[in-house]
Each structure stands twice: as structure tokens, then as C-alpha cells.
Copies of this chain bind each other. A is one copy, B any other.
Amino acid sequence: MSTPPTPPAEPLQRHLISDLPEALGQTVTLQGWVYSRRDLGGIRFLLLRDRSGVVQCVFGKTELPLAESCVRVTGRVAESPKAPGGLEVHAEALELITNAAEPPPIEIPKEAWHVNPDTLLEYRHVSLRSPKARAALKVQAELVRAFREVLSAEGFTEIFTPKLVAAGAEGGAALFEVDYYGKRAYLAQSPQLYKQIMVGVFERVFEVAPVYRAELSHTSRHLSEYLSLDVELGFIDSDEDVMALEERLLKAMMRDVAERCAPEFALLGAAAPDLSAPFPRLTLLEARALVRERYGHQTGGKDLDPEAERLVGRWAKEERGSDFVFVTNYPQAARPFYTYPTDDGLTRGFDLLFRGVEITSGGQRVHEYGTLIAQLRARNLDPEAFRGYLEVFKYGMPPHGGFAIGAERLTALLLGIANVRFARAFPRDGSRLHP
């Protein structure tokens, strides 16, 4: 009955392309994809791509396989001032691992030439292989990692809350409906109510998870499914503590990513934000006056419109040297019922703009049961629909607050990606459920 465990196969002595500068003059084995190939008669070039980069491999008469085939190349690393990265591999052997059955639908090295974003998104499962697409998602992964690391170091605990819920956190608009064992459920628009409950357990919590908005508007900044970076903390004095945390957090995330992802920033031509100045703060009223008086722009509605956001961001950059700016003290009418109200009809709710676009809503929340009931009624919402949520406020919730950052929007603004769809691997919107 005995089955001695098989010893692990001797791992292949494989080099990553990013390690080649330290292997000059040595013979190495690389694995990866045929990024492109070129035949100059007696000499053939293969650009090989692996997860760490691209390198030129030089062959004699060897037959080179189709683009995107998987191959193993063995050869000697040599300096080559003309080659990308300043070195190349003088190939001695080429082994085909998996042959591409046909040329890819998109020429991946020429991705940028495809002006139609719909084509790139239709073939996203292939176009993601381009170094630039890969770089954007890599930066996003590092942003998320830094988010967790900074918060963990400040005593926060990660939580995992349900995305299948019985009612929307904000009252019901733009919800996706789910057939839940014959009953009606919805996809959560935010973990708002759950992260507040979890403040009663861990005091300081964060979550990284998808959220859902059945947005009908087809804009370059909205997705139907996006990654929300959520934070909530208890025993605060005011929204000031929340903003101070978010500023500390974002500065640390930006510094960390700029350092870890220097090659990705260079590839994308992206500039790290200037973080030397404190994030300036304007009340919403001040922000409205600013864009009217300084830029002649009249904002309608309860909130700032996109042009007003852009102008406030411009002011912050020009006058305060900051890519970020907080807009504070939103009116109660512009905020959900759980936002901490102040006597002047305003709230302790804020937005944070990054390069002129909103990336966060946050604020202090109501922590007293009676105030919550009153806030729901003032908005014509039925307290019964929020029963499970309200219940916890009967049993002692500390003053608390938090915020949520949209990961794709943050990534797109950081890297200069105009359409937020390209800051998500497989974006979902009103007309896209594939691939």
C-alpha cells in the first residue's frame, strides 16, 4: 500500500529575461513566447517575451515558428548596442513547446496601432499579452498589495463580505438582480453596510473585492464590475481622521509602486505623482466658487460635474503642487443616509480627486441608532428594508468612518490610460460580457 512520494522533477535551469544583464557571456536557457520574428536572409531575429521582458535572439537558418508560439531558446548572452535593452542572445538551440495554430487576431507588438478600442477589447484574452497591457495590470496588482500592506501595518484586518445581498446599500437604483434559489437577490454595489458592522468586530477593517453597478451611461470612467478598495475604522474624532488616513495611505501606495514598478512606468510613459505637498482641501461650496470665479465654469446639480472636477484638480496642481485634492462638507442631499450630518445641512462626507477625477467617496458615518432612523425617514427610505443593518446600531457602535477607492480608476489616472476599461483585465459594461 506504500506509495513513496515522487521526488520533485529537477527544475529546469531557466533564466528570466530580466536576469540577463547578470549573465553576460554565459549560456542560458529562456522560455517564453515568440513576440515577433524577422528574416534578414542568412540571419533571423526572434524577439522572445517572458513575464519579465523581451529580448532579441539571433539565429542562423533555423525555421522560426509563428508569433505567440511557446518556445525554449538556449544561447549565449552578448552585448549588442543596437538591440532593445543593449543585449541579445546568440541562439544555439530552439525548442518548440507549443505551436501557435494561426497568427493572432491582433499584432501584439503593434497593439497601439489598433485605434479601435472595441477591437482590442473583443480580443482582450490575446491583447492582454502585450507588454503595455501587462504593465498596467502589474501596476494595479502592486497598488493593491501596497494598500493591504500599509493598512495591515496600521492594525487593520482584512474582511470578506457577501456580494449577494437582499437589498442595495443606497436604496435600490442600478442594481443587478440575481435569481437566488427562486428568490430575488442583488449584487452588492458596495460593502458599505458590512464593513461598518465589521468595525464592531475588528475596529479597523479593509476589503478588496468586486462591486457592481448597473450603469446605463456608457462613459470612459464607468464599469459595471470594478474592484473596490474599501476601508473603515472606528473610534475616530471626525472625518479628519479618515482623510488623514487616506492621505497617508495613498502617498505610501504611490511611493511604493513608483519604486517597485519603475520599468512599467517607463514603458507606459507614466509619471509618478508629486507627493511633497499635503493634499489641499476645499469645501464643496468653496470648490464651486473657485471654478466659477477663477475659470468661469458654472456647475449645476448637487455635486461637481466632470468639468468642475477637472478645474479643481487643475487648481490643486497649479496652486498647491498636488495631484490630489479633497472636496469636503458635501450637502446632505448629495450623500447617502448613513453620512454623518452637521447642523448646517451639510455632512462630514468628502470626495477625493486625483488628477481632476473623483477616485473616492468617504466620510464619517452616523453611529447612533436614532439618528440613522431619522436619516432614512428624511430620505423616504423604509427602515424595515435596512433591518439587519440597523440592528447592529442598537448595540453600541463607536464613531467611525471610511472610504472606498476604485482600483481601475486609480490605475488609469496614475498611468494616463484614457479609458478605464483598459485598467481591468476583462471589463464588463452594458454591451460587454465577453471574453
Chain A residues near B (Cβ < 8 Å): 1, 3, 5-6, 8-9, 11-12, 14, 31, 33-34, 50-51, 66, 68-70, 97-102, 104, 123, 125-126, 128-129, 133-134, 137-138, 140-141, 144-145, 148, 152, 155, 157-166, 176-181, 183, 185, 187, 194, 197-198, 200-204, 208-210, 212, 214, 224-225, 227, 235, 237-238, 240-241, 244, 278-283, 286, 289-290, 293-294, 367-370, 388-389, 391-392, 394-399, 407, 424-426, 428, 430, 433-435
B164 touches A212 (CB 8 A): yes
A1 touches B289 (CB 8 A): yes
Q: How far is the CA of A187 from the CA of B183 in the complex (A)?
A: 15
Q: How far is the CA of A365 from the CA of B97 in the complex (A)?
A: 15
- 20 other A-B residue contacts (CB within 8 Å) besides A125-B200, A391-B435: A1-B293, A1-B294, A8-B241, A70-B396, A97-B399, A102-B394, A104-B394, A125-B388, A126-B392, A133-B201, A141-B157, A145-B152, A160-B227, A164-B176, A166-B434, A178-B179, A178-B187, A181-B214, A209-B210, A388-B434
A240 touches B179 (CB 8 A): no
Beyond A31-B398, A396-B99, whether A391 also contacts B157 by CB under 8 A is: no
25 pairs, A vs B, C-beta closer than 8 Å: A3-B282, A3-B283, A5-B278, A6-B281, A9-B237, A31-B235, A68-B395, A69-B396, A70-B398, A97-B396, A97-B399, A125-B197, A126-B200, A137-B202, A140-B160, A162-B225, A163-B210, A164-B176, A164-B187, A165-B433, A177-B179, A178-B179, A178-B187, A198-B425, A391-B435
Q: How far is the CA of A104 from the CA of B148 in the complex (A)?
A: 33
A177 touches B178 (CB 8 A): yes
**Choice from B133, B137, B428, B435 contacting A388 with Cβ under 8 Å:** B435
A369 touches B9 (CB 8 A): no
Q: Which residue of B lies closest to A175 (CB)?
A: B179
**Choice from B66, B165, B286, B389 contacting A3 with Cβ under 8 Å:** B286
**Choice from B11, B138, B158, B425 contacting A145 with Cβ under 8 Å:** B158
What secondary structure prevails in chain A residues at the interface with B? Answer: mixed
| Min C-beta distance of A230 to chain B, whole Å | 14
Q: Which residue of B lies closest to A138 (CB)?
A: B157
Q: How far is the CA of A129 from the CA of B171 in the complex (A)?
A: 27
B286 touches A396 (CB 8 A): no
Number of identical protomers: 2
B164 touches A397 (CB 8 A): no
**Choice from B97, B164, B201 contacting A398 with Cβ under 8 Å:** B97
Q: How far is the CA of A344 from the CA of B181 in the complex (A)?
A: 40
Q: How far is the CA of A194 from the CA of B210 in the complex (A)?
A: 15
A280 touches B5 (CB 8 A): yes
Q: A144 to chain B: which residues have CB within 8 Å? A: 158, 160
**Choice from B98, B141, B202, B210 contacting A367 with Cβ under 8 Å:** B98
Q: How far is the CA of A158 from the CA of B148 in the complex (A)?
A: 13
Q: How far is the CA of A204 from the CA of B407 in the complex (A)?
A: 21
Q: How far is the CA of A197 from the CA of B293 in the complex (A)?
A: 52
Q: A68 to chain B: which residues have CB within 8 Å? A: 395-396
